[in-house]
Amino acid sequence: MELILVVALIVFLLRKKDLFKGLDFLNKISLPQSLFSDEKDLKGAIGEDYIQGILLKLPSSNSILRNIYVPTKEGNTVEVDLVYITEVGIYVIESKNYSGWIFGNDQQKYWIQTLKSGEKNRFYNPVWQNEGHIRALSQYLQADPGLFRSYIIFSNRCTIKEMSVSKKHVVVMNRSDLYDTLLLEMSEKPCILTKEKMEAFSEKLKELTFISTEMKERHIEQVQKRTDSLTWKNPKRRSESQNRVVPLSRNKGDKNNETGKVIYLNLKK
């Protein structure tokens, strides 16, 4: 009974978007551990929900798949947050529902998150992480790697302060920019997948969304082993001179510029 009430509460809160802008309210509530392994998992799931909602608003009949456990040639699995299959290509989306300032580039192994408190956390380069996802998907689907686009999506509570991404198939942005970016790409890029091919890819990936609890637990253990060595925190504040950064150029006329959001796109065909 308690579980049903809690789930109902979550649904109610998610629908009250006018009362809860963004996901800040999650920092103020405490939910039973029986629902999620930790609050981080909950925030991650809701971040993916928001992205899925944006994809559903796009004017098309494209396929959306979530939480796909893709086998690798090494015998492990990788979990892909979202895959969006369209006529212009396959978008592999890695959701980072973080807050704070984000620093990084596609050459660094770790990116840095700086919170308001001055605490700094490093996390594995999501561009590299998603490259692994794309390799696994390409192998599993026996599809040309050129069909895939890598989207790294940060929450709207995040400010991307310093970022450099040179790979033409990679985009790093805030969630608020996702709809317009996809709409532009799908209107400008040529169609490279037939409806039949899209359906075939979708059906094959659906098989990877229904996995046993045992397989999920095994995947979590694999991820834990790989990420244990990545944990690093530095709660000390840096001096004001050390903290100064110069954002890269913003898009002119972007209403989000007032909040310091920066979108980094490379839309070369």
Encode pLDDT of 168-201 as tens digits: 999 999 999 999 999 999 999 999 999 999 999 9
Helix (H, G, I), strand (E, B) or coil at 204: helix
- Nearest Cα residue to 127 out of 138, 111, 146: 111
Choice among 2-11, 113-122, 199-208 with the minimum mean pLDDT: 2-11
- Nearest Cα residue to 113 out of 80, 155, 64, 171: 155
Q: Answer yes or no: is pLDDT of 108 > 90.
A: yes
What pLDDT is stored for residue 43 in this prediction? Answer: 84
Q: Answer yes or no: is pLDDT of 136 > 50.
A: yes
Residue with tokens 């944990």: 231
Q: Where are the beta strands (DSSP E) in the chain?
A: 63-71, 77-86, 89-96, 100-105, 110-114, 120-124, 148-154, 158-164, 170-174, 233-234
Report the predicted TM-score, pTM, of the whole model to 2 decimal places.
0.71
Q: Answer yes or no: is pLDDT of 240 > 50.
A: no
Between 250 and 192, the higher pLDDT residue: 192
d(CA 62, CA 223): 30
Confidence band for 59, pLDDT divided at 50, 70 and 90: confident
Confidence band for 60, pLDDT divided at 50, 70 and 90: confident
Name the CATH code of domain 39-238 (choices 3.40.1350.10, 3.40.50.800, 3.30.1330.10, 3.40.50.20).
3.40.1350.10
Confidence band for 242, pLDDT divided at 50, 70 and 90: very low
d(CA 147, CA 91): 9
- Nearest Cα residue to 80 out of 190, 205, 194: 205
Run of H or E residues at 120: strand 120-124
What pLDDT is stored for residue 109 in this prediction? Answer: 96
What's the mean per-residue pLDDT of the chain? Answer: 76
d(CA 151, CA 94): 6
Choice among 14-18, 56-60, 142-146 with the minimum mean pLDDT: 14-18
- For the chain, the structural domain boundaries read 1-35, 39-238
CB distance 145 to 109 below 8 Å = no
